[in-house]
Amino acid sequence: MSGGLLVAGTTSDAGKSVLTAGICRWLHRRGVKVAPFKAQNMSNNSAVVVGPDGRGGEIGRAQAMQAAACGLAPDLRFNPVLLKPGSDHASQVVLLGEAVDTVTAGNYRTLRPRLAEAAFGALAELREAYDVVICEGAGSPAEVNLRAGDYVNMGLARHAGLPTIVVGDIDRGGVFASMFGTVALLDPADQALIAGFVINKFRGDLGLLQPGLDMLHRVTGRPTYGVLPWELDLWLDAEDSLAYGRVLGRPAAPHGTDWLDVAVVRLPRISNATDVEALATEPGVRVRLTIEPAELAAADLVVLPGSKSTVADLAWLRETGLADAVLAHAAAGKPLLGICGGFQMLARAIHDPVESRQGSVAGLGLLPIEITFDPRKTVRQSTGTAAHDVPVRGYEIHHGYVSSTDPALPPLLRYADGRGEGALLGAVRGTHWHGAFEADGFRRRFLTEVARIAGRTGFTVAPDTAFAAARERTLDLLGDLVEEHLDTDALWRLIEAGPPADLPFIPPGAPPA
């Protein structure tokens, strides 16, 4: 068979990514050869995939997570178009893993046919290779101002004949109105592909919800395939919804007597914030994202994460007073970590004719290095060791590189060939590697050292925390939620046979696209 399904949403962050992953895991456990697909993703959270030519390429982290749900290694075709916002007006275009252009409102129409052709071609190849492809939409299919050139929502569904389900987040309120409105704003041909609904993040008595489900069925002629409950344990591999001040996950009680408090600066163009999720899996480690200088003063460890706009985000740090808070934290001898763009901010100087085009600007001056931006983007998976030969794996995505360094400055990591990477100076550490903390041994040694420097003598790392196992538990939980709370028989019929032929048209509808 060559079945398929599009998971659309009433809004961004309605639950499309996790529902797609859950359906993928459910099918995978049934022995179905299934793959994920998102024609176009807009996110600065990306994963590195080794392409057929041996070079590294980028896809959205959500699609890498969905690939794992399918029991697959990530594939560039799973997310052929990735837009990485560098400002409010421009995004870097990553096409089949490779950065090829910068898109703005002015040139998007010119680029769009090329992007759509690549997306449609990738989906066709996947449908030849797999029994089922579960596709994820972007934003809402009812963004009628964008419908004419759409190739990720109903434009994709129309092109590939995909039945579509619409997921809505009831926690935001207005879910029935948004579901009805989503269908009613589509033209007749698009409506003919909308087969039904899924409600996400429900808390309470399902009986109280049932009258609304019944009415939604009456007015749309479409069923609700299920209601997914609110689940606190679904926080790993977040897409773009990490909130200011939010504590990641549900920190378990410390293994020793002390907690470690980690403050991660929520940069405006934060990228790969998922790096710190591995720290949050450790008992006794409280990780939060913040934009408050006072919260940095109280933290044991401050993290400057990755950024898609290093120079602009560094200027924002200074404007908000966060730079002074970071400098005060370092001056007090407390642990500070910079990852990728955050590492670059710690330098004495940043020379950037590429990303910001601002030339040379002063860094925070906490490491005796200089950073220079190169038009060629480094995108690769990396392996090596930390101190005491602890194995580490990670991946790199950056234009900036260390162009000058004090020869006596020790590296934080070493590549497999022995070359140094990153820097270590007193309590200040930096690296270009993303994902390094997923290596259990390195994470434990790092946190032990942080606790020592911070004076948390009662903190002890748990000996058995395994990040890979935590991720697998999350994927299995998603599969369980689909099996337990969705009408999987009806879902399977939809995947196998397509949308029912008698779905009614809901006025007013849009003019035909």
Catalytic residue status for 340: yes
Q: CA dihedral in degrees (185, 189, 192, 196; nearest 10)?
A: -40
Omega prior to 504 cis, within 30 of 0: no
* Alpha-carbon distance values, 243 to 62, 291, 362, 370 (Å): 17, 10, 29, 32
Q: Quick one: which of 261, 270, 321, 307 has its CA closest to 288?
A: 261
User: Are the CB atoms for 465 and 283 separated by under 8 Å?
Assistant: yes
Comparing CA positions, the residue from 409, 429, 404 lying closest to residue 420 is 409
Candidates 340, 351, 399, 432; catalytic one = 340
Between CA 124 and CA 159 the distance in angstroms is 10
Please indicate whether residue 434 is annotated as part of the active site: yes
| Distance from C-alpha of 491 to C-alpha of 7, rounded to nearest angstrom | 12
Q: Of 351, 432, 434, 485, which residue is the catalytic one?
A: 434
325-331 long-range contacts, CB within 8 A, separation 24+: 325/293, 325/294, 325/296, 325/297, 326/265, 326/296, 326/302, 326/364, 327/364, 327/366, 328/296, 328/297, 329/296, 329/297, 329/299, 329/302, 330/366, 330/427, 330/428
Catalytic residues: 340, 434
